[in-house]
Structure 1
């Protein structure tokens, strides 16, 4: 039996803290950069389609999408809608140009959506058992704001955020409120999230999301916990599908292919 001394165990723990594991999209992005540096791809080349890279790397298409967004932010590739992703520069050292630090801990947009789907569906379920009349009033006010922003072609998402935060507040649990707030802060501070949305011009999808919100509110009004959970889970699934479709660059006639790591939870 191998016995690890106290000092060595402490060193192993500290190394794990100081050198955190890379996110999956960062590993895929680094692999693509390695292939460019090795000469397999050169400046001016078009990278293989997302679907092909996903199969080669045995990851979901959403992870590949996040890896390409990372390379786009690093000025390694350029996305040309309906044409593909082209190499425009040789990769530089992994230093964040904006912060001067090594690779950031920026969560990928689909990773964040996956976390929200798992968390907020259960928050909505619990909120349905705790919701008050004042909570319903705030939710209606949030939907009114969201509707006005959509009709005014505003790029603000204040109504959207207010709606999701009001559901968390309806649980009467401050810890859950803080968790949802943290996810929104991460979204607002995410360069990858902003880059994803920079490709999306048509805002019509927000009308469908508003309809989703109305279904969630109806379930909460009826204090139907399972319906509230299902409606929130489906809403965030719709968000993921929509963003995958609208940000697709390989094929303007997106065929609805979804990523394999979709969190499957029982809705029964």
Structure 2
């Protein structure tokens, strides 16, 4: 498997820690500093920090930043999570794929498909206070759209991406930073807009609605998982782009 960009940045950060002789308790530079230094987006740096957190090298403190709790050994690369995919990398892949899936589904969706999706959104609405049940309904809604394309390979690919999310230690670590779950109501509204476009069999409308939904997910998770700067400034996605490909 090719080296993940976040992993490469994480290793560079570890090399800097060793080269600068930082001691346990030292505060690391901000994500913005590393993003500008390495010429990457803050999402990649956020993923690198999550990797270091999982490796128990740093501790993130809400509203303060990231602190060194163990100095990485010289030349030792920790490969426990090599195959993990960064949460924002995964969301970008889903955004590209699922927006096209929604457009495809809009052209062939059946009344039965629509009813199943509506039932799932009703369940999601009823279970907003339960993270586990709300997440399950969220996943089911997206997979129902993929199933509505009547293309088994698209459904399989979409399912694989969701399975990667559920197995990902990085995804779990990201969510462990987030205490406010009120955003779930906003995501439900996004789902309703996607369904409205599917009802109209509006392929481009469905594409745009799904793209915007997953854009909202990325921005929300990044803002809520921030540990160092309460004033989210939008620098995050300058290298990802803001519209459909």
- Separation (CA, whole Å) in 2 of partners of 1:62 and 1:231: 23
Provide the secondary structure at the position in 2 that maps to 1:78: strand
Aligned to 1:242: 220
Aligned to 1:17: none
CA RMSD of aligned residues (A): 1.5
Aligned to 2:156: 178
Q: Pick from 120, 131, 145 the counterpart of residue 154 of structure 1.
A: 131
- Separation (CA, whole Å) in 2 of partners of 1:245 and 1:95: 28
Aligned to 1:224: 202
Aligned to 2:146: 168
What is the TM-score when the length of structure 2 is the normalising length?
0.94
Cα deviations across residues 178-199 of structure 1 (Å, max 9, x unaligned)?
A: 0100000000000000000001
Q: Which runs of 5+ in 2 are unaligned?
A: none
Instruction: Verify the 8 A CA contact 2:105 2:198 in the aligned structure 1.
Output: yes
- Separation (CA, whole Å) in 2 of partners of 1:242 and 1:265: 17
Q: Pick from 50, 63, 67 the counterpart of residue 69 of structure 1.
A: 50
Matched, 1:41 2:19: no
Question: Alignment length, in residue pairs?
Answer: 242
Cα deviations across residues 11-52 of structure 1 (Å, max 9, x unaligned)?
A: xxxxxxxxx431100010000111112234322111111111
Deviation of 1:246 after TM superposition, in Å, equals 0.2
Deviation of 1:91 after TM superposition, in Å, equals 1.6
Cα deviations across residues 207-238 of structure 1 (Å, max 9, x unaligned)?
A: 00000000000000000000000000000000
Deviation of 1:90 after TM superposition, in Å, equals 1.2
Aligned to 2:59: 78
Matched, 1:107 2:85: yes
Instruction: Verify the 8 A CA contact 1:25 1:67 in the aligned structure 2.
Output: yes
Instruction: Verify the 8 A CA contact 1:109 1:193 in the aligned structure 2.
Output: yes
- Separation (CA, whole Å) in 2 of partners of 1:47 and 1:167: 43
- Separation (CA, whole Å) in 1 of partners of 2:41 and 2:85: 16
Q: Give 1:182-193 correspondences, 5 Å limit.
A: 182-193=160-171
Instruction: Verify the 8 A CA contact 1:76 1:88 in the aligned structure 2.
Output: yes
Instruction: Verify the 8 A CA contact 2:211 2:244 in the aligned structure 1.
Output: no
Q: Pick from 77, 85, 88 the counterpart of residue 94 of structure 1.
A: 77
Deviation of 1:125 after TM superposition, in Å, equals 0.3
Aligned to 1:197: 175
In our comparison, the structure showing a higher alpha carbon Rg is 1
Instruction: Verify the 8 A CA contact 1:219 1:225 in the aligned structure 2.
Output: yes
Deviation of 1:104 after TM superposition, in Å, equals 1.9
Cα deviations across residues 146-204 of structure 1 (Å, max 9, x unaligned)?
A: 11110x34343011001000000010110000010000000000000000000101110
Question: In 2 relative to 1, CA 207–103 (structure 1 residues): closer, same or farther, beyond 3 Å?
Answer: closer
Higher relative contact order (CA 8 A, sep 6+): 2
Deviation of 1:103 after TM superposition, in Å, equals 4.6
